Amino acid sequence: MTKSGSAVKVLFVTTELAPFSKVGGLGDVAGSLPKALRQAGVDVRVVTPAWPGVLERVAASGVKTTTIKTKVYAAYDWRIHSATVIKADVKGVPTYFLNAEDYSGDMYPSQLNYWTASPFAVFCMQALELKDAIEWEPDIYHCHDWTSAFLPCALAWHRHYRQRGDKSIMTLHNVAYQGIFEPSPFLEASGLEPWSFSSSTMEFYGQVNLLKGGIVAATAVSTVSPTYANEIQTYESTRELSGILYQQRSKLRGILNGLDTKFWDPAGDKAIPAKFTVKDLKGKAACKKELLARAGFDTETNAPVIVCVSRLVEQKGFDMVFNAAHQIAETGAKLLILGSGNDWIENGIMKAAEENPGSIKLFKGYDEPLSHLMYAGGDIFLMPSVFEPCGLSQMISMRYGTVPVVREVGGLRDTVFDVDRPEGGNGFTFLTCDSDGMMWALRRAVERYNNDKAAWKNIMLEGMKEDFTWNKSAGLYKQMYEEINS
Ligand code: ADP
Ligand code: GLC
């Protein structure tokens, strides 16, 4: 509540929004947390760029849109950048898509420099200008990752916006991506005061670091799990940025992500061939059969099916997987991986699949329906992340009765608990960041699956019964909003 007793008004500023634009978990969070926040009594609205294909996907989903009469304008690089504002009601959340020339390229650039970073700065300034066009003024701007980190920087250091005294929150979904590039000609073009480029603000070893600027400038900072909130203050985790995070720790908190548990629900999922529930697991066998058929594997096998659904990037620890490919195949288990990303990881997995035909298979690409079949048809979900701010995949897999095997790091540590602890758990975990560590946990899982079906069913049920809703965390976000708004 605000001082006047009305709901606190929050504008969610995000460059990904599931199901219209999603690269990873940020898209899922932006597509589900606002709905939970509205249910908790926060007047939250969402603004996001209309990247290529987004408005088509909105139309295809049946969501109705209206074009707002007034455009938004932002001054950047001595030019006025305008955007048309398309309003939609997405599951009860007022959502504004900004349609402009600036967002006509790839969603995320492979190389960051002044030109490729500019659309993100423009987006933040257009978000700051939105209030007049929609006749609704937020109390707080809630930004996510480096792609909207320019907004807190503008509120603190921009010649024009710093006069407004508005509040902002910076949520860190992944500190590995910081938005680092050459300062020239960005500083001139951006309208930031020249003194904003100092070691105590957004300067970082001679470069601009938007995330650093956002962290320093924001009124409050949060990240997506309590463990990651601690880890990022250490040099081992975030290198040069760890000192800044340590300095800023009094305004940093960790709030665990939740899931859209209606969307990720084996009892109602339209993308899987048979539904199942905690009380009736029968449908899961049909999903496994279909998945094995998709892989071209024997559908009658008794072997456990290990699945991975992931961006194929260094963070996710796939070198541990392909280095242990023969050992995994020797356990008798099948390994199915869905993902795309770095060539060296794709090549490593492809080689492992070629050397272990009938045991290992890579589905290359991003495929939402297939991801549902993987979660539903798998027995074991493997996620050996090197670091993991929160991780949603392990939670999704547990919803579908697929037992996670994960490294004890970040949000994985806050959500997966080893079954062999005295108090029991919902999965298998390991600490050492290498293939041996991973195989130690994976072998325990495969053996348990093969030799103790009753124990295995209990582990599955333990995961399926976990509360992965946003309810608790939405309350914590609301508390943060109210604290900084008082
Ligand atoms: P991250 O955000 O680091 O990628 P998360 O576990 O938080 O990891 O979220 C990943 C999300 O992206 C999950 O919803 C997962 O199902 C989805 N995902 C990742 N890779 C793919 C893929 N190749 N095809 C479909 N969905 C994918
Ligand atoms: C990032 C992280 C992931 C987290 C997601 C949503 O992409 O890598 O761990 O779950 O953001 O917060």
**Nearest to 215, CA basis, from 255, 257, 183, 173:** 173
pLDDT single digits (tens) 51-74:
999 999 999 999 999 999 999 999
Strand blocks (E) in 40-186:
43-49, 65-67, 72-76, 79-90, 93-99, 140-144, 167-172, 180-181
SS3 (DSSP) at 195: helix
Q: Give the mean pLDDT of 276-304.
A: 98
pLDDT single digits (tens) 445-475:
999 999 999 999 999 999 999 999 999 999 9
Identify whether residues 182 and 241 lie together within a single domain.
yes
Strand 72-76 versus strand 79-90 pairing type: antiparallel
Q: Which ligand is nearest to the CA of 409?
A: 2
Whether the link from the prior residue into 185 is cis, omega within 30° of 0, is: yes
pLDDT single digits (tens) 190-240:
999 999 999 999 999 999 999 999 999 999 999 999 999 999 999 999 999
**Nearest to 74, CA basis, from 130, 116, 146:** 130
**How many domains does the chain fold into?**
2
Identify whether residues 93 and 168 lie together within a single domain.
yes
Residue 238 resides in a domain: yes
Ligand 1 centroid, distance to 264 Cα (angstroms): 13
Is residue 3 predicted with pLDDT exceeding 60? no
| pLDDT band at residue 18 under the 50/70/90 scheme | very high
Which residues pair with residue 12 across a beta bridge?
46, 142
Q: At what angle do helices 435-451 and 453-464 cross, to 10 degrees?
A: 110
Paired tokens of 12: 């969610």
Ligand 1 centroid, distance to 43 Cα (angstroms): 28
Residue 165 resides in a domain: yes
pLDDT at residue 486 in the model? 86
Identify whether residues 396 and 475 lie together within a single domain.
no
pLDDT single digits (tens) 328-371:
999 999 999 999 999 999 999 999 999 999 999 999 999 999 99
Residue 269 resides in a domain: no
Ligand 1 centroid, distance to 199 Cα (angstroms): 35
Measured from the CB, is residue 398 less than 6 Å from ligand 1?
no
Residue 305 resides in a domain: yes
Residue of minimum CA distance from atom 10 in ligand 2 = 391
Identify whether residues 152 and 47 lie together within a single domain.
yes
Measured from the CB, is residue 30 less than 6 Å from ligand 1?
no
**First CA to last CA distance, the chain:** 9
Ligand 1 centroid, distance to 371 Cα (angstroms): 9
Q: Give the mean pLDDT of 300-318.
A: 98
What is the best residue among 269, 375, 393 to mutate for testing ligand 1's pocket, by most ligand atoms within 8 Å of CB? Answer: 393
Q: What share of the chain is helix, strand, coil (3-state, %, to 5)?
A: 40, 20, 35
Residue 4 resides in a domain: no
SS3 (DSSP) at 281: coil
pLDDT single digits (tens) 136-188:
999 999 999 999 999 999 999 999 999 999 999 999 999 999 999 999 999 99
Identify whether residues 440 and 325 lie together within a single domain.
yes
State which residues form the domain around 121: 9-258+470-485
Q: Residue-wise over 170-190: b if at least 16 C-beta within 10 A, else e?
A: bbbbbbbbbbbbebeebbebb
d(CA 361, CA 370): 14
Question: How far is residue 455 CA from its own chain's centroid?
Answer: 32
Q: Which ligand is nearest to the CA of 260?
A: 1
d(CA 274, CA 296): 19
pLDDT at residue 6 in the model? 84
Cβ-in-10-Å burial (0-12, 13-18, 19+) of 28 comes to: buried
SS3 (DSSP) at 46: strand
Measured from the CB, is residue 364 less than 6 Å from ligand 1?
no
Measured from the CB, is residue 46 less than 6 Å from ligand 2?
no
- Of all atoms in ligand 2, which is nearest to the CA of residue 385? 9
Ligand 1 centroid, distance to 8 Cα (angstroms): 31
Cβ-in-10-Å burial (0-12, 13-18, 19+) of 228 comes to: buried
Identify whether residues 434 and 478 lie together within a single domain.
no
| pLDDT band at residue 250 under the 50/70/90 scheme | very high
Identify whether residues 455 and 480 lie together within a single domain.
no
pLDDT at residue 99 in the model? 98
Query: Which residue in the block uniquely carries the two structure tokens 């009094």?
Result: 250
Identify whether residues 348 and 249 lie together within a single domain.
no
Residue 388 resides in a domain: yes
Identify whether residues 117 and 195 lie together within a single domain.
yes
List all residues 6 or more positions away from 182 whose beta carbon is below 8 Å from its beta carbon: 113, 114, 207, 208
* CB 205 within 8 Å of CB 178: no
Identify whether residues 65 and 100 lie together within a single domain.
yes
Strand 65-67 versus strand 79-90 pairing type: antiparallel
Which conformational region is residue 283 in: left (phi greater than 0), alpha (psi within -120 to 50 degrees), or beta?
A: alpha
pLDDT at residue 2 in the model? 61
Residue of minimum CA distance from atom 3 in ligand 2 = 391
Q: Where are the alpha helices (DSSP H) in 179-305?
A: 186-190, 210-217, 226-231, 235-238, 242-247, 283-295
pLDDT at residue 212 in the model? 98
The enclosing H or E element of 220 equals strand 220-223
Number of residues in the chain = 486
d(CA 336, CA 292): 9
Please, what is the average pLDDT of the chain?
97
Measured from the CB, is residue 367 less than 6 Å from ligand 1?
yes
Residue 81 resides in a domain: yes
Backbone angles phi, psi at 128, to 5 degrees: -70, -25
Q: Give the mean pLDDT of 277-290.
A: 98
| pLDDT band at residue 5 under the 50/70/90 scheme | confident
Q: Which domain CATH number covers 474? A: 3.40.50.2000
pLDDT at residue 146 in the model? 98
Strand 305-312 versus strand 252-254 pairing type: unpaired
Which residues pair with residue 340 across a beta bridge?
311
Residue 272 resides in a domain: no
Measured from the CB, is residue 392 less than 6 Å from ligand 2?
yes
Identify whether residues 230 and 288 lie together within a single domain.
no
Identify whether residues 435 and 480 lie together within a single domain.
no
- Of all atoms in ligand 2, which is nearest to the CA of residue 26? 6
Residue of minimum CA distance from atom 26 in ligand 1 = 368
